[in-house]
Chains A and B, each alone.
Chain A
Amino acid sequence: MFRVILTLLTSIKNPGKIKTILFSILLILITIPNLNGQENEVESSNIATSKIVASILSAPTDVSAKDTDNDKGQSITINWTLSADDKDGGAVSGYKIYRAVEGSNEFVEVGNESEGTTKSTDNKTTDGVSYIYRVDSYQILLDSVGNKSFVTSASVASSPVKSSAQWFNFNRGYCLIFVLFVSGAIIYYIRKASAGGEIYVRKLGGIDAVDEAVGRATEMGKKVFFIPGIQDMNNVQTIAGIAILGRVAQKAAEYGTWLEVPVSKSLVMVTARETMKEAYTAVGRPDAFNEAQVHFLTDDQFGYAAAIDGMVVREKPATIFYMGAFFAESLILAETGNAAGAIQIAGTAMPSQLPFFVAACDYTLIGEELFAASAYLSGEPRQLGSLKGQDIGKALFLVAIIVGIIMESFGWTIGGHNLSAIFKVN
C-alpha cells in the first residue's frame, strides 16, 4: 500500500497524469478494509468494462437465517440489517443472497433483492441439511459508455440453520376456528333435522319455478335444455349444477319431456349421464332415458357457446337451465335463449356473470342459492338442516362486519393491532 501511496504523491506533481491519479485512488479504495472488517471487491460483469469508478460500500449486518414459519418445508427466511450505505441517494443498488452447506464454504447465489429490503426467502432448500447464508450489498457502476461493473461487500455468514415442515399453519388459526364453528353448526342442524326438528327455509323463486318450467315444455311439446357451465367436475359449481340436474331430470322423466344436456367436458358428460339415469330410474322410467340426451360439444368456450346458440335457434326449446360456472359466454347464451322465447332459469356463483343472467333470464339463483338449490329441491330434512347451519355462519359474519366497522371507524385496536392485521389469512 505504501508503494501505491508513493505513486500517488509522485503523480500529483505532474498534472498531466490524471489517469494515473484516478487509477491510484481506485487501488487504494479497493485495498482499504471497510469499517466492518469486510473486503470490498470489484467484479466485472460479462459486459466489457473499459473504465471503473469505485466506491466504498458497507456490508449488511446482523444476518440471520431461520426456518420459514408455517410452511411445508424446503424454505429458509434470511433477515439482515440494511447496509449503512442503503439510504436515499445511497450507493447500494441491492443485495445478493448466497448459501453454502455448513462446513463447505462454497457459496452459491440463491436470491437477489432490491435496495431497502431486509428479508429474503430461499425456497430451494433440502429439509434436514444445515446451511449458512451470506448477504452481499452491491452497487452497479456505469462508465461513460454504459458498461456495467459491480462493487460488492460481503457480510459475515449467518449461524447454521435447517429447513423443516411444520405440523400446523398458525396463520390460519382463526380460519380453522371459524370453519369448525360453522361446520359444527351445520352438522348440529343436520342432526336436529334428522331427529325431526322443524327447519324453515325461505322460498327460492327460481327453484319453485322448475315444475312450471318443465311443465311448460311438456305442454308445448318442446325440449328442455340444461347447460351445466364450462368447468369440469373438480369445480364445486359444476357439482352443484349436476345435483340440480338430478332433480330436473326426475321432473322431466315424470312429465315425459325430452331433457337435453349439451356439455363441454367429458367427465361432466359421464357424470351427467349417471345422474340422469339414476333420476329416471328413481321415478320408475329407466326405459325413457336415452344416452344421446347428454352429449359432448367442445371444450372450447366460444365454440361451446356457438354450438348451443345454434341448437337454441334451430330447436327453440321451451325451457333452458343454466346451472354451474359461466364466464363471458353467459350473456351470449342467455340472450339467445331469451330471443328464442324460452323460459330461462340460471344459477351461478360467478359474481361478474350474475348481472347478465339477472338481465336476460326469468329467474336467477344468486351465489349461495345455487348450492342451496339441490337441498331445497330434495326437501330432505338433513339437507335442509345444512342450510340452517349455513345461516349461523352468515350471522357470525354479520356480527364480525358490524364489530369491524365500529372498530375501524373509531380507530380501536386489540393489543395495538387492528382487526384486519389480526385476522389476515396467509
Chain B
Amino acid sequence: MRREIPLIITTVTGLVFAISYFIPHMPFGNSENIFGEWISIVQAFAIWLGVLNLVKVSIDKILSKKGDAYYSYIVIISLGIMLIVGFWDGLSGLYADPPYPVIDDSTSFYWIFKNIYTPLTSTMFAMLAFFVASASYRAFRARNFQATLLLIAGFFVMGGRVPLFDLMISGITDVPVFSHFADWIMTYPNTAGQRAIMIGIALGIMSSSLRIILGIERSHIGGKS
C-alpha cells in the first residue's frame, strides 16, 4: 500500500487536471485553483523540513570541526539573527498603535533585507555578466561548421544590438543594416528554433505525464518502474 496509495493519488489528480482543461463545469472547473491552494499550504509547512535540515547539517559540520566549518557558523548565526529580529519586529508591529507590518521601512528586519540580502543577491546576479563573457569566448571558437555559423550569427546580433556598427557604416548607407539583420536573425531563425524546441518539450511533457498517470514511471515516488 505504501506504493499504491501515492500511485492512485497521482493517477486521479493527473486525470482530473487533464479533464478540467476541457470541462469547465464543476467539479472539474475549479480543480486547478483548489489543488493550487493545497500545494501552497503543503509547501508552506514543508519549509520547516528544509530549515531543520539546514540547521542539522550545519551543526554536524561544526561538530566535525572540518576546515570549512566556519561557513556553518555563519549560516547558524545569520539564521538566528534573522529569526530573532523578525519575531521581534513582527510582534512589535502587531501590538503597535497603529500596527505596522514586518516589511516596513522602520523595521530592522527590513533594513537587513534591504541593505544586506538585496546587495548580496544583486552581486550574484551581476556575476552573470562575466560568466556570459567567458562562456561566449569558448562557444564562439570556430572549431567546426556549426560553431562558425554561431560565431557569424553572434557577430551580427551583437553588432546589431549596439549603435557602433551602424554608425560605422553610416557614411555608406543610412539603412541600419546591422540592426535589421540582427532583428531578422532573432525574429525568424531564432524563433523557429525555439518553437521547434517548445513543440518537442510539449510532447515530452505529454509522454512523461502519461507514463506517470499510468504508473509506468514511478521513480519520482521512490518506486521501481
Report if B96 contacts A (CB, 8 A).
no
Residues of B within 8 A of A374 (CB): 208, 217, 219
Contact with A along B24-60 (1 / 0, CB 8 A): 1110011000000001001100111111011001001
| Among A20-28, A136-144, A297-305, A409-417, the stretch in contact with B | A297-305
CA distance A270 to B21 in the complex (A): 30
Residues of B within 8 A of A190 (CB): 214, 216
Residues of A within 8 A of B26 (CB): 72-73, 165
Report if B171 contacts A (CB, 8 A).
no
CA distance A23 to B201 in the complex (A): 69
Is there an interface contact between A186 and B206, defined as CB atoms closer than 8 Å? yes
Report if A360 contacts B (CB, 8 A).
yes
Question: B residues 92-143 with Cβ under 8 Å of A?
Answer: 120-121, 124-125, 127-128, 131-132, 134-136, 138-139
Residues of B within 8 A of A165 (CB): 24-26, 29
Question: A residues 389-418 with Cβ under 8 Å of B?
Answer: 389-390, 393-394, 397
Is there an interface contact between B208 and A239, defined as CB atoms closer than 8 Å? yes
Which listed residue (B25, B204, B209, B220) contacts A372, Cβ 8 A?
B204
Is there an interface contact between A269 and B124, defined as CB atoms closer than 8 Å? no
Report if A328 contacts B (CB, 8 A).
yes
Residues of B within 8 A of A233 (CB): 220
- Nearest CB in chain A to that of B213: its residue: A183
Contact with B along A317-360 (1 / 0, CB 8 A): 00000000000110110110000000000000101001110111
CB distance from A316 to the nearest CB of B (A): 13
Report if A422 contacts B (CB, 8 A).
no
Report if A285 contacts B (CB, 8 A).
no
A-B contact count (CB 8 A): 210
- Nearest CB in chain A to that of B121: its residue: A302
* Given the contacts A269-B50, A386-B210, A393-B206, A232 and B22 also touching, CB distance less than 8 Å: no
* Given the contacts A295-B53, A335-B135, A394-B199, A383 and B211 also touching, CB distance less than 8 Å: yes
CA distance A270 to B47 in the complex (A): 11
Is there an interface contact between A265 and B204, defined as CB atoms closer than 8 Å? no
CA distance A179 to B21 in the complex (A): 11
Report if B197 contacts A (CB, 8 A).
yes
* Given the contacts A182-B206, A269-B53, A73 and B29 also touching, CB distance less than 8 Å: yes
Question: A residues 301-317 with Cβ under 8 Å of B?
Answer: 301-303, 305-306, 310, 314
Is there an interface contact between A269 and B49, defined as CB atoms closer than 8 Å? yes
Report if A76 contacts B (CB, 8 A).
no
Which listed residue (B18, B50, B139, B223) contacts A278, Cβ 8 A?
B223
CA distance A359 to B139 in the complex (A): 5
Report whether over half of chain A's contact residues are helix, strand or loop; otherwise say mixed.
helix
- Nearest CB in chain A to that of B205: its residue: A236
Which listed residue (A278, A369, A370, A397) contacts B222, Cβ 8 A?
A278
CB distance from B142 to the nearest CB of A (A): 14
A interface residues, how many (CB within 8 angstroms): 89
B interface residues, how many (CB within 8 angstroms): 63
Residues of A within 8 A of B198 (CB): 351, 367
* Given the contacts A302-B121, A359-B135, A266 and B49 also touching, CB distance less than 8 Å: yes
Which listed residue (A331, A370, A397) contacts B204, Cβ 8 A?
A370
Is there an interface contact between A371 and B50, defined as CB atoms closer than 8 Å? no
Which listed residue (B18, B127, B197) contacts A351, Cβ 8 A?
B197
Residues of A within 8 A of B224 (CB): 278, 282
Report if A214 contacts B (CB, 8 A).
no
Is there an interface contact between A349 and B225, defined as CB atoms closer than 8 Å? no
Residues of B within 8 A of A239 (CB): 208, 212, 220
CB distance from A330 to the nearest CB of B (A): 9
Is there an interface contact between B203 and A243, defined as CB atoms closer than 8 Å? no
CA distance A414 to B221 in the complex (A): 47
CA distance A202 to B21 in the complex (A): 33
* Given the contacts A266-B50, A375-B217, A367 and B225 also touching, CB distance less than 8 Å: no
Q: Which 3 A-B pairs have the closest CB atoms?
A: A274-B222, A368-B204, A371-B204
- A295-B57, A372-B204, A378-B225 given. 7 additional CB < 8 A pairs? A72-B30, A167-B25, A179-B206, A239-B212, A335-B131, A354-B197, A374-B219
21 A-B contact pairs sorted by A residue (CB < 8 Å)? A70-B24, A165-B24, A165-B25, A176-B22, A179-B18, A179-B206, A190-B214, A190-B216, A232-B39, A243-B220, A266-B47, A266-B49, A275-B220, A296-B50, A302-B121, A303-B120, A306-B124, A368-B201, A380-B225, A390-B206, A390-B207
